[in-house]
Amino acid sequence: MEIRVPEVGESVHEALLAKWFKKSGETVQKDEPLCELETDKITLDVHAEAGGTLSILVEEGTTIKTGSVIGEISAEPARPAPQPAPPEAAEPQREEQIRATVSSPAARREMREGGIAPDSITGTGKGGRITLEDLFSRITESSRRPQEPTEPTGDVATPSASVSTPVPETPPVPDTAPQTIISPEKEQQAAEAPVAPVAPVAPVAPVAPVAPVAPVAPVSTAPQAPVSVHTETPPPYAAGREERVAMSPIRRRIAERLLAARQQTAMLTTFNEADLSNVKKLRESFREHFRQKYGIALGYMPFFVKACIAALKEFPAVNASIDGSDIVYHHYYDIGIAIGGEKGLVVPVLRSADQMKMFEIDQTIAEFSDKIKTNRLAIADLEGGTFSISNGGVYGSMLSTPILNPPQSAVLGMHAIQDRPVVRDGQIVIRPMMYLALSYDHRIIDGREAVGFLKKVRDYIEAPEELLLEG
């Protein structure tokens, strides 16, 4: 039986085979997890569809297309994974020489792809090792080497009737080379002097049109080679004390989306604070009731989900999004809940959260957390969403500016609850306070709406009885 990379969604076309839980030749049972796959959206486990002996065909760290065969399960003894054809005898020696004499991965890659022999370059790096600059200097020097001068075939007539002389060229050009004009006073000297290359002088427009070819710029003058500074040789003080690890697909996707949120929206953040005294009292009163009836303790998140939905109904722009030149008002409330996992932050969505009871919100969030831990979260759990909530307070954050989750136009940031002195009825009292932050897209949400929305959330949190009655 073949083990294939499953289809996990229309937008996912490849996955990274992050880890095999079993070795080739080992016996596996039906439904036993075999390997872990990472896509740019989720991490998932592939389970055995039948029992038998495992044969691994694709190694860890390989990126494969969805639907690809990565292994087999059979009742027979496992067959060894196919071995790659042995390279030519000279290839290992050349590779060993490259690794021993070239200082950085980028330089080694360029040398392999260019077929350049290490012994053809004199290294200037530490211990005589070849650096990326040495390699580019070698390429530049080769491309700028002058061509052998050719015998002149006769004078070329120009409007000024002056004599042209061949000039050393950087790249070869077809047929006629660019001509250089000299003064009439030098004609006689040029005629009597032996034919030899002349020192380069300022060229003028060539007689025949010639496609311009720019010489390769030396590395010292801002090279255009696509080489990141991160591929440079580590500085001496960091030698042996750094580790380079490839970004996982999920981490790359997170980085792309966060950068896009900064670059493609007019993001702004407004702040407020809420007194959670009444929420804490209600939680204490109903916690045991919820535990016995629903099997889960009443948390803080259901209060904030319900408070946000009530405020979204009063400020519909906060629940809207931009599509091209249109504003799309969503008349439903799909609330994304940011949950941190080992692989990064994901935002599963509570569908039609306005129709969910308080205990249903808590149960669904607990299910999401369990799916993330066991790599069972599906693409469908992440799609859509009209508004998001992020709780940095679980990590101890006191104040932050949450980043938008496009195409959504707003996100609420919760933070740690801390006892602080506040003034109530002219008296200084200690209350459990939480800072709230609302980041929003100023292209669609005005400051008045953003501030009004956040104040409404605060008001519902400070007087939560109505929310509890509804939910």
Catalytic residues: 442, 446
Q: How far apart are CA 108 and CA 135, in angstroms?
A: 9
Q: How far apart are CA 181 and CA 359, in angstroms?
A: 90
DSSP H or E segment with residue 148: none
Closest CA to 178 of 228, 218, 132, 213: 213
What order of strands is seen across the sheet that includes strand 69-74?
A: 2-4, 69-74, 52-56, 27-28
Q: How far apart are CA 140 and CA 172, in angstroms?
A: 15
Q: How far apart are CA 144 and CA 217, in angstroms?
A: 10
List the beta bridge partners of residue 339: 346
The distance in angstroms from the start CA to the end CA of the chain is: 49
CB neighbours of 362 closer than 8 A, spacing ≥ 6? Answer: 290, 294, 296, 297, 298, 299, 301, 302
User: With the C-alpha atoms ordered 46, 47, 48, 53, is the resulting torsion angle positive or negative?
Assistant: positive
Cis omega (within 30 of 0) for bond into 407: yes
For tokens 């801390």, name the residue.
418
Concatenating the DSSP letter of every residue in 440-460 gives EETTTS-HHHHHHHHHHHHHH
Other Cβ atoms within 10 Å of 436 Cβ, number: 21
DSSP H or E segment with residue 302: helix 301-314
Q: Locate 3 and state its tokens.
A: 């083990």
DSSP H or E segment with residue 64: strand 63-65
Q: How far apart are CA 185 and CA 219, in angstroms?
A: 41
Ramachandran category for residue 128: left, alpha or beta (phi over 0 → left; psi -120 to 50 → alpha): left
Burial group, residue 324, by CB count within 10 angstroms (0-12, 13-18, 19+)? exposed
Number of residues that make up the chain: 471
Q: How far apart are CA 133 and CA 139, in angstroms?
A: 10
Contact in structure between 33 and 246 (CB atoms under 8 Å): no
